Amino acid sequence: MLRRPKDSKAVFEEIRSLLTEQRNPRSLDIDTKSIPEILEIINEEDHLVAPAVKKEIPYIAKAVELIVESFKQGGRLIYVGAGTSGRLGVLDAAECPPTFGTPHWMVQGIIAGGYGALVHAVEGAEDNAKAGIKAIRRRRVSPRDTVVGISACKRTPFVVAAISEASRRGARTIYVTAIPREKVDIQADVIIAPVVGPEVIMGSTRMKAGTATKLVLNMLTTASMIRLGKVYGNMMVDLQATSQKLIERSKRVIMMATGVDYEAAAKYLRLAKGSVKVAIVMILAKVGYDEAVRRLKEANGFVRYAIEIKDKDRG
């Protein structure tokens, strides 16, 4: 259920009580410090981020399961956020096609204020709950999709409304915030709450909270893509060779996976029509293009299993 708009005093009181809006006792006199001392304080606080994320792994794992289910059903992962949170969601979505060879529709990012808000702050966009609802409707979110709301302070109206609408439409929902779980009153299937404590600069959640969010989003998409067979060992095998760097990386992956030299890797990448996966299966299983494609389909895209498939139907 969407909460009714609050008056200014109520919003003030809510914000004042948030952990992300408290003063950090370890940086109270940071304005008197030398540059190296300032940087040491920031760095020491950053050391709190990874342990906070580690505590959330059970919840992150549940979220990955939901995302993988969506992908297997032909659904999407859609991030929704405002400000830093929105930019991080759009960034993670944008990096999936070149890294994992996903179609652009598969992982998407919605930011309050539209894509212009990626480079310039759009005043008041995060407070527009109606815009959050419209954004979900515009994407025609369905029960096949998973929608991830990102809000360090947990209260962002645009994000709360978007998650509420996504849930109403039957989508799986996940909420990522820096507020202790017991204080999160958002209705979502999974709450991920890495508590990193007050920021070095009060309320500047682009710092520790933003770093924690980036780590969580990395885990969500990377683990999901691994479960879809887009990684062989620890190498990207579904990357899209859309630049010279990625073409050469493709060849290097083939070389490392199979032991062939540079010229052979280039040859097989060409024979495999640019697919690193197909090239690896062709080399290691000693099969042609069509058979490699068939094996990968039978193995649901997993290179390791495609190599191990026997030609049982051929005797």
Residues labelled catalytic: 95, 126
Cβ neighbours of 45 (radius 10 Å): 20
Beta bridge partner(s), residue 191: 175
CA distance 53 to 312: 46
Spatial contact of 117 and 125, defined as CB atoms under 8 Å apart: yes
Spatial contact of 173 and 200, defined as CB atoms under 8 Å apart: no
Beta bridge partner(s), residue 80: 110, 149
Q: Which element (helix H / strand E) includes 95?
A: helix 83-100
Side-chain half-sphere of 144: how many Cα atoms within 13 Å?
10
CA distance 269 to 247: 9
Q: Residues near 213 by Cβ (< 8 Å), separated by ≥ 6? A: 84, 85, 88, 150, 152, 176, 178
* Residue found by looking up tokens 């190498």 in the block: 235
Spatial contact of 89 and 217, defined as CB atoms under 8 Å apart: yes
CA distances from 60 to 22, 55, 149, 180, 286 (A): 26, 10, 14, 15, 39
Spatial contact of 187 and 164, defined as CB atoms under 8 Å apart: yes
